[in-house]
Structure 1
Amino acid sequence: MKKQIVTPLIMATSLIILSTAFFYGCDRDNENTPGNQGVTRGPQVKVGNGTAQSFIKLDQSGKATSIGFTMTRGALDNLPQQGEHGAISYELPLPAEKQKTAYDHISLDWAPHGHMPNGVYNVPHFDMHFYMISQQQRAGIKPGTAEAEKLPDASFFPPNYASTPGEAEPAMGKHWVDLTSSELKGAPFKTTFIYGSYNGQVIFHEPMMAHKWLSTEPDTLITLSKPATTLNASAYPGAYTVRYDKASRVFTISLELTQKQ
């Protein structure tokens, strides 16, 4: 057998390659491999002076348990102020694991001057739309059409929800609000949860959060009421969370998915 001579340079190079492969493999196992508890992520999107990035969390069986996005603290700064009432949309594509959920994409909409009704939501805030239809389908939503005004059965909403007056919003649909929300009773708006519909279907879930409230760096979980009828999907949001990590200066905002029985 021929004797193999290994130089220090070759040994060092080999160790670097092996180490890189090892850590890469661990990262894949911990974050991206179905069957292992982990997180898969979409691309980073610039927001203000920071970034936002979608994610989907899977359990050990590969089922989605959480969907949302992370947002750096700088994303609250230097946001655009143009538009009297218009919102600026930051589209957050979801990773391929979205097929394990009811959702297609997230639209993080910044409303620098808020929107109607005055005295309630006309403060700077984020509308965080978790859409169950594609962007192409959204583009076809127009107010005043029969499809836009066709409402889902009331059983698809918790009993305390009602549709807002007026026509559907273009590229969004009809909005449904929680009538028990504190801001509708005169309290300052902090956060609430909205449903959206189009053509007789629920098409989005929407946490709304005031910029001022997010700036306090909240850390909370808000339980959601369950509709009598849920979507034809394996899970529905049982709660939404807002977490802030002071060390990394990153928010985590997510829908916590409850598996249907």
Structure 2
Amino acid sequence: MRAKNLLSWRVLLGAALAISALTLLILPGDPAQATDSTAQSAARTSGPVSVCLVTRDAPNRERTVKVAQWASQVLLTETLSYPGPCASYGAPSPLGNGTVRTYAQINGATPQTVGFVFPKNTLTGLPTTMTDGHHCYDMDGNGTVNEHTECVGGHERPLELPSQLTSLPGMPLKWALLNYNPMGHGPEHIYDTPHFDFHFYTQSKAERDAIRSGPCGLAINCDDYATAIEPIPPQYLPADYVNNNVAEAAMGNHLVDMNSPEWHSTAFTQTFIYGAYDAKISFLEPMITKAWFEGIANGVNPSRCWPIKQPQQWQLGGWYPQEYCIDYRANRGDYTVSMKNFRKSAA
């Protein structure tokens, strides 16, 4: 069986590379070979691209190859391959009927993509209760805890980022956290629909874990609430984001973009949040509804990217993403939520 898998791997790789080479050898001006001027122009200007080659008979074996543009499209359709370079992965955590894990794609010493990946069946069998009960506080002192008003965090999955990413010089991201909120959360009529919070933390996990539950804000300790809402100096505050003092236990403060569509009579589908604690950015967070993911797989919503609004200056220099993306990879039957287009910023 191993010999058969190796043979099929070599055959497919050889075929892809042969197709790629043939494509590049076709002369755009040869009337016997090309009839479309747009295709001819593309052939002249497009070079080989990186693809992480993955075959269906060896789904856990990945190898970065370079092929022509159109050959890459064949691989991305007919195999389990994905746009390269190949990823490094964090350990998976169970969720629903599937799992979720982090991944990172790195080109030399430059981060290319960091994100979460999960199979389609993760969206089935999800928790239905408001919370996992990890972060609750009897705020009214009546001796019982109301999970709807005295608990925060939904159902959380702390995740390690790949060490290949966190060990890069100038990489501010330290770990990741997924929260699934079966009933959403406040504010009412804004984010009160089933959704996922995908956190990429610049704050250490130990510091985050030390943000205690208590009777202030969103079930947060009052001293920690005061620390959480400390204002960020204007030059470090991302453009259009405001501090509404929305601080919660085991999380910190949440800065929102009041220009985002959900604040202007448009139903929430996806948005981007910044976290803050002790007057510093503590996490970057795409927030996405369950329905939006389902709509992508059904062909109703597109896979696409959105720009991430930046501050004038970062308090901590290093690599920061310029866009976040939500994708459904039909050939792999999975979703990715990622941050891309990293640029290195001085402090």
Q: Is 1:62 the equivalent of 2:141?
A: no
Instruction: For residue 154 of structure 1, report the CA deviation from its aligned partner.
Output: 2.3
Which residue does 1:194 correspond to in 2? 273
Corresponding residue SS for 1:216: helix
3-state DSSP of counterpart to 1:115:
coil
Alignment of 1:83-162 (within 5 A): 83=130, 84-85=147-148, 86=152, 87-97=154-164, 98-100=166-168, 101-142=171-212, 143=220, 144-145=222-223, 146-162=226-242
Is 2:90 the partner of 1:42? yes
Q: Unaligned regions of 5+ residues in structure 1, if any?
A: 1-12
* 2: CA distance, partners of 1:70 / 1:212: 17
| Runs of at least 4 residues off by over 4 Å | none
Q: CA deviation at 1:51?
A: 1.3
Q: Is the 8 A contact 2:88 2:105 kept in 1?
A: yes
Alignment check: 8 A CA contact 1:41 1:94 kept: yes
Tell me whether 151-160 or 245-254 shows the greater mean CA deviation: 151-160
How far apart, in 2, do the equivalents of 1:93 and 1:260 lie? 22
Tell me by how many angstroms 1:134 deviates: 2.4
Contact preservation (8 Å) 1:65, 1:257: yes
Note the aligned Cα RMSD (angstroms): 2.6
* Percent of pairs with identical residues: 28
Tell me how far apart the structure 1 counterparts of residues 244 and 290 of structure 2 sit (CA, whole Å). 22
| Whole-angstrom distance in 1 between the partners of 2:263 and 2:109 | 40
1:57 partner SS: strand
2:95 counterpart letter in structure 1: V
Q: Deviations over 1:95-149 (max 9, x none)?
A: 1122222111111100111111101001110011111122221111243224223
Q: What amino acid maps onto 2:282 in structure 1?
A: I
Structure 1 window deviating more from structure 2 (195-204 vs 215-224): it is 215-224
1:55-104 C-alpha deviation (Å, 9 max, x unpaired): 11101x22212111111111111111112544000122111122222111
Counterpart contact for 2:325–2:339, Cα < 8 Å: yes
Is residue 278 of structure 2 the alignment partner of residue 230 of structure 1? Answer: no
Higher normalized contact order (CA 8 Å, seq sep 6+, divided by chain length): 1
- CA, structure 1 residues 80+122, in 2 after alignment: closer, same or farther (shift >3 Å)? same
The one-letter code sitting in structure 2 at the alignment partner of 1:104 is K
Asked if residue 212 in structure 1 is aligned to residue 279 in structure 2, the reply is no
1:170 Cα deviation from its structure 2 partner? 0.9
User: What is the CA–CA distance in structure 2 between the aligned matches of 1:37 and 1:254, rounded to whole Å?
Assistant: 15
The answer to whether the 8 Å contact 2:111/2:342 transfers is: no
Superposition TM-score, scaled by structure 1 size: 0.83
Matching residue's letter, 1:93: E
- Ranges in structure 2 where 5+ consecutive residues have no aligned partner: 11-53, 66-83, 131-146, 213-219, 297-301
Partner of 2:80: none
CA distance in 2, matches of 1:201, 1:126: 24
Is the 1:230–1:236 Cα contact (8 Å) retained in structure 2?
no
In 2, distance between residues paired with 1:129 and 1:160? 20
For 1:189 and 1:49, the matched residues in 2 are separated by: 25
- How far the C-alpha of 1:260 sits from its partner, in A, is 2.1
Give the distance between the partners of 2:244 and 2:289, measured in 1 at CA. Answer: 19
Closer/same/farther in 2, CA of residues 71 and 233 from structure 1, 3 Å limit? farther
Distance in 2, matches of 1:39 and 1:148, equals 34
1:224-258 superposed Cα distances (whole Å, 9 cap, x missing partner): 22210124232112000011012221011101142
CA–CA distance in structure 2, aligned partners of residues 236 and 191 of structure 1: 20
Partner in structure 2 of residue 6 of structure 1 = none
